[in-house]
Chain A
Amino acid sequence: MSRAETADSSGAAESAASGRAAAARAPSPLWTLGLLRNELSTTLRRWRTIALLGVLAAVPVLVGVAVKIETSDGSSTAGGGGEGPAFIAQITNNGLFLVFTALAATLPFFLPMAVGVVAGDAIAGEANAGTLRYLLVAPAGRTRLLVTKYATTLAFCVIATLVVATSALIVGALLFPLGELTTISGTRISFGEGLGRALLIALIVAASLIGIAALGLFVSTLTNSGIAAMATTVGLLITVQILDQIPQLHAIQPYFFSHYWLSFADLMRDPVYWDDLIRNLELQALYAAVFGAAAWARFTAKDITA
């Protein structure tokens, strides 16, 4: 924690310094990018973030090795009968499917948890470390700081998803054959097109996390304790996932941010079935708008005491 705090304060000092420099000139639009770059490097250099990314990268390794051991005696299907995460039955025949399986395995919990930690920490972590007011001394403005924090969280969503996908692709290529693949509709596509779809799926998965990132940011503006904000965000995530399983609540389930997460698998149909994918993106945009606005209302009106 002390390391992170040091990183925080050094980051804050840097931005305070560059803030002074900028105050001398008129603040240029590029200054926001400088703030963003600064935020990004601060976030990504934290040990906590690196550990989270490490855990995410380990999931595909675990799945790949488990499937390899399971099928080493020659049995062809790992998840006979369709048990386990989506696509797991096809991994042995095509390593590219490990990308889809790894994303399906991490999307319900590991990825949003990592995003929840980063988003929950965004404002409350600074307040907790006593660096928030220094950040605001720089002529960045509260709205701009909030937008930068959200952009950093979104960038982390993309990075985290790509880490899972890349790790899965490497493990899949090492352990299993690659080649033409069969879509879940039974048609064939070339390996190149398969890679393209894998990238598209990774981006859709990253976009699926927009909602929880906005929710986490809002929670983060409510408290001055970084830990409380992270715990609340992850707790909300788990609660919503459980509620999404209760059949009696089917009337409100389509409005849960996690409801359409697994729709990314629809990209593997041929032709692609867009209905749920579009619904997912609309829902994420709605969450971003509502909780982003709420976070703005709270943060711009808040007393900053730390």
Chain B
Amino acid sequence: MAPYESDDSTIEDEADDMRAGRRKAARYVVPVAVVGVAAATIGLVPAFAGSGDPDLPKVSAQQLIEKIAASDVQQLSGTVKISTDLGLPNLGGLESSLGGVAGGGDSSGSSADPSSKLLELASGTHTLRVAADGEDKQKLSLLDKAAEYSVIRNGDEVWAYDSASNEAYHAQDGSSGSAGSAGKGTKDRSQDVPATPKELAEEALKAADDTTSVTVDGTAQVAGRDAYKLLIKPKQSGSTVGAISIAVDAKTGLPLKFTLTPTSGGSAVIDAGFTQVKFAKPAASTFDFSPPKGAKVTEGDEPASEGRADKERHARPGNDNGNVKGNGEGLGKESDGPDVMGEGWSAIAQFDTGGEGLPSEGSGGGDAGRFLDSLGDQVSGKFGSGTVFSTRLVNALITDDGKVYAGAVTKDALVKAANAAN
């Protein structure tokens, strides 16, 4: 590329160079075309795949609910994707350390303890695998990056195994009270996780009275299976729950997908559904577990820790779809039981912590107050003033005189309720 080399081009050559340059440029059409085809494939394939809603005979909401109730799927294996977006502030590492403190904070401190994994599901997208063979063989695995957390129930043995830390947790089911509760803890976990959309569906249907409209909303393809969509909507205003949609497998009646959308719009708060499902008997080896050599095994003999797990479960806002009372219990463990104002979807739990309320900047709380203020919004009304802490599903108003109002309702509804109570 020495400079003198370029001097020998004459004006005649320049025309040739132009043509040659165009020919050269034409070659770049190939990589650009490849990019274009790839982009078109990525963009269009999901659009085409999503357009084919299956043609199924019409059913009424009543028939569909009966179908769910009659569903008796004993054997299945599949992959479940759960996205939770509660709109909680992203706490990053704090979240996982909270999980460790809340769940594994007891003497055992095993990362394989089921309760220590609960908080992980409260935000983000997770992939789970479920397998079941009859009443007494179930397996639930939470897929992590290059690791997996499995809870396996085989007869009266319950194992939990965390491959990242090579730790296992073991409990005997059904023998003594404490072990029974440990087993229950594991089962609760699988209910707690919307991995079994059946439980969620039942929960949602329980609340179906004159406050709720339940309709069949067409059909959909879920995990390659034809499904009916059951749409549950609150009739009252003021609820943060926009709609709950449940896709029910047309053949087996098993709920395949559960979606909770907030009134505020945007992405779903909870979106849990099968991405793959098979109704064949899973391999027997799936449920066989013996801890690998050198794995640290924690025996689940502490009922206290399970009690804690249960409390945590109630305290998790994602879990109360209309079950506001549970939320109140979680928050108000130390105080009087909550009074429930209103009914159905816009029910608000009210209880008195009996304390001073939260420190805020105005009440001289200093730095701590300022920090809490930054997480919530200041509101005032007939009740005085207070702070509203909001997520996309559950809002809570904590007044300066220590009263707490919480529910799956909008901020305005909370303030109105607080005004009415005073």
Q: How many chain A residues touch the partner (CB < 8 A)? A: 41
Report B's interface with A, CB cutoff 8 A.
1, 5, 23-24, 27-28, 30-31, 34-35, 38, 79, 111, 127, 129, 141, 143, 145-148, 150, 152, 159, 161-166, 275, 285-286, 288-290, 292-296
Q: A86-B147, A90-B166, A186-B163 given as contacts; is B34 within 8 A of A289 (CB)?
A: yes
Chain B interface: which of A22-30, A130-138, A294-302?
Answer: A294-302
Which one, A94, A104, A269, A294, contacts B31 given CB within 8 A?
A294
Nearest 10 CB-CB pairings of A with B: A82-B164, A86-B146, A265-B146, A301-B24, A297-B27, A182-B292, A184-B163, A293-B31, A294-B31, A89-B166
Chain B interface: which of A73-81, A147-155, A238-246?
Answer: A73-81
Cβ < 8 Å to B, chain A residues 263-306: 265, 269-270, 273, 275, 286, 289-291, 293-294, 296-298, 300-301, 305-306
B146 touches A273 (CB 8 A): no
A77 touches B294 (CB 8 A): yes
B166 touches A77 (CB 8 A): yes
B143 touches A273 (CB 8 A): yes
A90 touches B292 (CB 8 A): yes
**Counting CB contacts under 8 A, is A163 at the interface?**
no
**Counting CB contacts under 8 A, is A185 at the interface?**
yes
A77 touches B296 (CB 8 A): yes
Nearest Cβ on chain A to B190's Cβ, whole angstroms: 16
- B24 to A, closest residue via Cβ: A301
**Counting CB contacts under 8 A, is A49 at the interface?**
no
Cβ < 8 Å to B, chain A residues 12-69: none
A269 touches B166 (CB 8 A): no
CB-defined contacts of A158 to chain B, threshold 8 Å: none
**Counting CB contacts under 8 A, is A188 at the interface?**
yes
Nearest Cβ on chain A to B100's Cβ, whole angstroms: 9
B294 touches A301 (CB 8 A): no
- A187 to B, closest residue via Cβ: B285
**Counting CB contacts under 8 A, is A203 at the interface?**
no
Q: How far is it, in angstroms, between the C-alpha of A90 and the C-alpha of B23 when the chains are bound?
A: 58
CB-defined contacts of B24 to chain A, threshold 8 Å: 297, 301
A186 touches B152 (CB 8 A): yes
Nearest Cβ on chain B to A188's Cβ, whole angstroms: 7
**Counting CB contacts under 8 A, is A161 at the interface?**
no
A301 touches B23 (CB 8 A): yes
Which one, B5, B164, B165, B292, contacts A93 given CB within 8 A?
B292
B290 touches A188 (CB 8 A): yes
Q: A93-B292, A186-B161, A294-B28 given as contacts; is B146 within 8 A of A104 (CB)?
A: yes
Q: How far is it, in angstroms, between the C-alpha of A293 and the C-alpha of B24 when the chains are bound?
A: 13
B1 touches A305 (CB 8 A): yes
CB-defined contacts of B141 to chain A, threshold 8 Å: 185-186
CB-defined contacts of A297 to chain B, threshold 8 Å: 24, 27-28, 30-31
**Counting CB contacts under 8 A, is A258 at the interface?**
no
Which one, B31, B35, B148, B165, contacts A77 given CB within 8 A?
B165
Q: How far is it, in angstroms, between the C-alpha of A42 and the C-alpha of B285 when the chains are bound?
A: 50
Q: How far is it, in angstroms, between the C-alpha of A296 and the C-alpha of B28 when the chains are bound?
A: 9
- B276 to A, closest residue via Cβ: A275
A185 touches B150 (CB 8 A): yes
Q: How far is it, in angstroms, between the C-alpha of A106 and the C-alpha of B350 when the chains are bound?
A: 56
- A255 to B, closest residue via Cβ: B42
A290 touches B35 (CB 8 A): yes
**Counting CB contacts under 8 A, is A87 at the interface?**
yes
Q: How far is it, in angstroms, between the C-alpha of A87 and the C-alpha of B146 when the chains are bound?
A: 8
Q: How far is it, in angstroms, between the C-alpha of A300 and the C-alpha of B143 when the chains are bound?
A: 46
CB-defined contacts of B293 to chain A, threshold 8 Å: 93-94
CB-defined contacts of A294 to chain B, threshold 8 Å: 28, 31
**Counting CB contacts under 8 A, is A92 at the interface?**
yes
**Counting CB contacts under 8 A, is A175 at the interface?**
no
Apart from A82-B111, A187-B285, list 20 A-B contacts with CB within 8 A. A76-B295, A76-B296, A87-B146, A90-B166, A90-B294, A92-B294, A93-B166, A94-B293, A184-B146, A184-B147, A188-B290, A262-B146, A273-B127, A290-B34, A290-B35, A293-B31, A297-B24, A297-B28, A297-B30, A298-B27
Q: How far is it, in angstroms, between the C-alpha of A68 and the C-alpha of B28 when the chains are bound?
A: 53
A296 touches B27 (CB 8 A): yes
Q: How far is it, in angstroms, between the C-alpha of A270 and the C-alpha of B161 when the chains are bound?
A: 14
Nearest Cβ on chain A to B329's Cβ, whole angstroms: 32
Q: Mind listing 11 A-B residue pairs with CB under 8 Å?
A: A77-B165, A82-B162, A86-B145, A93-B293, A185-B129, A186-B152, A186-B161, A286-B34, A293-B34, A297-B24, A300-B27
Q: How far is it, in angstroms, between the C-alpha of A232 and the C-alpha of B411 when the chains are bound?
A: 53
Nearest Cβ on chain B to A289's Cβ, whole angstroms: 5
CB-defined contacts of A220 to chain B, threshold 8 Å: none
B27 touches A301 (CB 8 A): yes
Nearest Cβ on chain A to B162's Cβ, whole angstroms: 8
CB-defined contacts of B296 to chain A, threshold 8 Å: 76-77
